[in-house]
Amino acid sequence: MSPYRVLFDRVATRVDPERAHHAGFRAVRAGAPVLGLRGLPGRPVQALGTTFPNVLGMAAGFDKNAVGIDALGALGFGHVEVGTVTGLAQPGNPQPRLFRLVEDRAVLNRMGFNNDGAEVVAARLAQRARRRGDRPGPVLGVNIGKSKVVPEDDQAAVEADYETSARLLSPYADYLVVNVSSPNTPGLRSLQAVERLEPLLAHVRRTADAATGGRRVPLLVKIAPDLAEADIDAVADLAVAGRRDGVLDGLIATNTTISREGLRTPAADVEALGAGGLSGRPLTARSTEVVRRLRQRVGPGLTLVGVGGISTVQDARDRLAAGADLLQAYTAFVYEGPGWPRRLVTGAQA
């Protein structure tokens, strides 16, 4: 067992998870200048018309406000997806809202898209761009979602809300993600229905194109693992049509799950934690299954990003074998520590 694992299991688990996250992220940012001297592990991957330094990225949710992109790159992540960012700043759901299920190597969250809002995050990204200049860094994805105060049944208001984020953030993004699959914003998952998703994506595409002055920003959609098989197929068909029409470039599978099946943590303890999305090891099989089904449906041309329950080198290899072009992780990084990204990349791309 690694020193980090011992420290995590015996010390960190006694600290409130959200406080531990902020403290750990501050430590990562403080150590970035030294960590960055080692360069990125792995080998380049061509996807979305971009060269990714390696196959592994940090999933959305860890760096919600774009404060540590290059620090995460220094740990070995070849791309970093910031957000979810909403058009309006919002505090998220009441605390406590983040919980560990240590026996399952899982995390339950009901954060509720807490973030500084698109305007503040855009200013932060502009400052980073000026500071970095032409120096290379991790590929930057920006994940955008619906502000909680916007009624989910008002399509025009929803599109206007996503438009705000796309207009402000697209100029700084290497790729853009429309998040319609978090379980923690009421009604959000209803936007995964094809009849609502299709016009939303078209609107975001037009907005991004207008905001970037001719530079085309690849657009992806992040979907839930809890979709029925027929709905997965419908989203896959939408993605194929969207790629043909120049709207969509890829899918990210999957977000957190509302399922509580197969957990080692006692059911009464899980129930006491309340609502939220589950991430980590319990997602491994389902997320791999969704990626495999998507690849079989969409063929070779569409970019698929596999995320959810990737903890080991074998998990990573299985997800790539199922059809993923790129991988993302979050929960395993929490449990395994700062050396984990390099170990995973080195093994997965061996």
In single-letter form, the type of residue at position 52 comes to F
Q: Quick one: tokens of 201?
A: 């994506």
Residue 185 preceded by cis peptide, ω within 30? no
Calculate the alpha carbon distances from 87 to 117, 183, 218 in Å: 6, 18, 20
Specify which residues 307 forms β-bridges with: 328
Beta bridge partners of 99: 108
195 by DSSP, 3-state: which? Answer: helix
φ, ψ at 71 (rounded to 5°)? -65, -40
Alpha helices in 63-150 (DSSP H): 69-74, 118-132
Retrieve residue 213's tokens: 């002055």
pLDDT of residue 7: 66
Q: What is the pLDDT of residue 32?
A: 74
Angle at the Cα of 65 from the Cα atoms of 254 and 161, rounded to 5 degrees: 75
The CB density around residue 248, as the number of other CB atoms within 10 Å, is 26
Q: Of the candidates 349, 316, 341, 329, which has an alpha carbon nearest to the alpha carbon of residue 4?
A: 341
- For CA atoms 297, 177, 21, 333, the dihedral sign is positive
Q: Write down the catalytic residue from 165, 170, 181, 182.
A: 182
pLDDT value for 137: 87
Is 313 in a helix, a strand, or coil?
helix
Mean pLDDT, the chain cut into blocks of 10 residues (350 residues total): 66 82 91 70 95 97 97 95 97 96 96 97 97 88 96 92 98 95 64 80 97 94 92 91 95 95 96 96 97 97 97 98 98 94 93
Q: Are 27 and 47 in contact, with CB atoms under 8 Å apart?
A: no
Residues making up the annotated binding site are: 60-64, 84, 109-113, 143, 179, 184, 222, 254-256, 280, 309, 330-331
Of 234, 120, 222, whose CA–CA distance to 181 is shortest? Answer: 222
- Predicted local distance difference test score (pLDDT) of residue 39: 73
Q: How far apart are CA 199 and CA 22, in angstroms?
A: 37
Comparing CA positions, the residue from 341, 229, 345, 238 lying closest to residue 290 is: 229
Helix (H) and strand (E) counts in the chain: 12, 13
- CA angle (223 as vertex; 278, 125 as ends), nearest 5: 90
Alpha-carbon gap, residue 269 to 261, rounded angstroms = 14
The CA distances from residue 279 to 98, 196, 218, 249, in Å, are: 11, 26, 26, 25
The CB density around residue 148, as the number of other CB atoms within 10 Å, is 20
- In the annotated binding site for FMN, the residues are 60-64, 84, 143, 179, 222, 254, 280, 309, 330-331
Selection from 146, 140, 149 nearest residue 68 by Cα: 140
Can you list the domains of the chain with their CATH numbers?
3-348 (3.20.20.70)
**Annotated catalytic, 182?**
yes
